[in-house]
Amino acid sequence: EAQVTQNPRYLITVTGKKLTVTCSQNMNHEYMSWYRQDPGLGLRQIYYSMNVEVTDKGDVPEGYKVSRKEKRNFPLILESPSPNQTSLYFCASRTGGDEKLFFGSGTQLSVL
């Protein structure tokens, strides 16, 4: 089954404790991206990647890091999480020839 898999589904952590949210897709998509979804603000893009070793900032990249060492994986790294990063996070992917995005099921992050 074609899918984007995120882990974990839920995460509660404390300020300053480094964490990684994993994202993997099995559709051989070139493009992958991360979004955060907050009430009243909608989905906002954090980072995106056009292919392996190619990443770029979205609209809200501060406090986040990404890497794209393999085509299928695109982890989101919070090196020193803060409470304002409490949010619902989505990973998405698409093939280069199609603008349709496939989303993961989301990661609900709470930073205390």
Partner 1 sequence: EDQVTQSPEALRLQEGESSSLNCSYTVSGLRGLFWYRQDPGKGPEFLFTLYSAGEEKEKERLKATLTKKESFLHITAPKPEDSATYLCAVQAYNTGNQFYFGTGTSLTVIP
- DSSP letter at 7 equals E
Which value, in Å, is the radius of gyration of the alpha carbons in the chain?
A: 13
Confirm or reject binding of residue 112 to partner 1 (CB under 8 A): no
- What is the smallest separation between the CB atom of 39 and partner 1, expressed in angstroms? 8
Confirm or reject binding of residue 101 to partner 1 (CB under 8 A): yes
**Strand, coil or helix: what is 88?**
strand
Q: Phi-psi bin for 39: left (phi > 0), alpha (psi -120 to 50), beta?
A: beta
In the numeric block, the tokens 């990443």 are attached to 55
Nearer to partner 1, 81 or 104 (CB): 104
CB 81: neighbour CB atoms within 10 A?
Answer: 22
- What is the smallest separation between the CB atom of 32 and partner 1, expressed in angstroms? 11
Tokens for 110? 């709470």
Binding mask 6-35 toward partner 1 (x if CB under 8 A, else -) reads -------------------------x---x
Tokens for 95? 């093939």
- What is the smallest separation between the CB atom of 67 and partner 1, expressed in angstroms? 18
Binding mask 30-69 toward partner 1 (x if CB under 8 A, else -) reads -x---x----xxxxxx--x-x-----x-xx----------
Give how many residues touch partner 1 by CB under 8 A.
Answer: 24
